[in-house]
């Protein structure tokens, strides 16, 4: 018989919350592991009743979704947490936000409604804003047109298992160029393939097809993350939970 840990099992999960948070300023250089540690410490400071796994090494029931790469800022990072006692989502959001350092801001918290599907299944695309200081907007536009005209553009990507060639063009759904305060900006929507195509990979593709090489470091911000809709936009992944919750509230009000 397998040995069991002493003591009673941990309380069951009675509620799941889904949260959106930011990674801004200097914290864009923090690794995903550093951010996870900061969030878990803040959850304890905020006295959020986290549910824990069973066994000899219990850990909080937290799932992180599609973390942005180190060096990129983000307005749309997501995680899901199981609670051992029910709490008001807005109160959890406010308490957690107050317990985190500047740059990690908790923007939304909603309850995961049973039957509304998994959060991970709703995250299949990202909208990036890439600022390219020192790059001429017309040159960038020409490079983007060339990229979009290709059927495939292979780039070399470093992964945890070594380097491999990936088709960056296959991930790009749409791309557009804008200019703000004299700086060329690339807005691009990419599918979240495996391995993930990130801003550096898009820039490598532009270098491959048009020899576009920015003289200064780029600045990437994840503006949205969610499911790709028919128009090529990225849909809000927390929307289905709000919709189901609103519907349930209306039904209770009519009873």
The pLDDT of residue 29 is: 95
Q: CATH topology of 15-121 equal to that of 123-235? A: yes
Which tokens in the block code for residue 136?
């001429």
Q: Where are the domains of the chain?
A: 15-121, 123-235
Highest mean pLDDT, choosing among 52-56, 89-93, 250-254: 89-93
Is the CB of residue 195 less than 8 Å from the CB of residue 159? yes
Q: What percent of the chain has pLDDT over 90?
A: 77
The hierarchical CATH code for the domain 15-121 is 3.30.70.580
Structure confidence by residue, pLDDT tens digits, 235-249: 999 998 887 665 445
Q: Whole-prediction pTM value? A: 0.89
Structure confidence by residue, pLDDT tens digits, 187-223: 999 999 888 999 999 999 999 999 999 999 999 999 9
Q: What is the mean pLDDT of residues 25-40?
A: 95
pLDDT higher than 70, residue 107: yes
202 exposure class (CB count in 10 Å sphere: 0-12, 13-18, 19+): buried
Structure confidence by residue, pLDDT tens digits, 108-153: 999 998 887 899 999 999 999 999 999 999 999 999 999 999 999 9
The pLDDT of residue 139 is: 98
The pLDDT of residue 46 is: 97
Instruction: Give a three-class secondary structure readout of the chain.
Output: CCCCCCCCCCCCCCEEEEEEEEECHHHHHCCHHHHHHHHHHHHHHCCCCECECCCCCCCECEEEECCCCCCCEEEEEEEEEEECCCCCHHHHHHHHHHCCCCCCCEEEEEECCCCCCCCHHHCCEEEEEEEECCCCHHHHHHHHHHHHHCCCCEEEEEECCEEEEEEHHHHEEEEEEEEECCEEEEEEEEECCCCCCCHHHHHHHHHHHHCCCCCCCCEEEEEEEEEECCCCCEECCCHHHHHHHHHHHHHHHHC
More confident residue, 58 or 176: 176
The correct CATH number of 123-235 out of 3.40.50, 3.30.70, 1.10.10, 1.10.3470 is 3.30.70
pLDDT higher than 90, residue 5: no
Distance between CA atoms of 223 and 247, rounded to whole angstroms? Answer: 28
pLDDT bin (cut points 50, 70, 90) of residue 251 is very low
Q: What pairs with residue 172 in β-bridges? A: 190
């Amino acid at each position: 018989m397998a040995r069991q840990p002493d003591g009673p099992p941990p309380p069951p999960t009675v509620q799941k919350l889904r949260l959106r948070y930011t990674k801004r300023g200097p914290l864009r250089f923090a690794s995903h592991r550093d951010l996870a540690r900061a969030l878990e410490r803040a959850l304890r400071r905020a006295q959020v009743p986290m549910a824990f796994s069973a066994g000899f090494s219990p850990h909080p029931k937290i799932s992180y979704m599609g973390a942005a790469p180190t060096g990129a800022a983000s307005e749309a990072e997501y995680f899901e947490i199981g609670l051992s006692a029910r709490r008001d989502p807005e109160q959890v959001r406010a308490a957690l936000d107050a317990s985190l350092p500047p740059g990690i801001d908790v923007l939304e918290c909603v309850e995961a409604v049973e039957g509304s599907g998994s959060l991970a299944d709703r995250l299949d695309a990202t909208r990036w804003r890439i600022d390219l200081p020192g790059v001429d907007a017309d040159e960038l536009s020409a490079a983007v047109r060339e990229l979009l005209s290709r059927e495939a553009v292979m780039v070399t990507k470093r992964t945890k298992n070594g380097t491999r060639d990936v088709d960056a063009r296959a991930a790009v759904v749409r791309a557009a160029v804008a200019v703000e305060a004299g700086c060329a900006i690339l807005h691009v929507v990419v599918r979240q393939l495996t391995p993930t195509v990130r801003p550096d990979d898009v820039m490598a593709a532009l270098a491959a097809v048009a020899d576009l090489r920015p003289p200064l470091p780029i600045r990437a911000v994840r503006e949205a993350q969610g499911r790709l809709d028919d128009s090529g936009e990225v849909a809000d992944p927390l929307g289905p939970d709000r919709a189901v919750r609103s519907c349930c509230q209306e039904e209770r009000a009519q009873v």
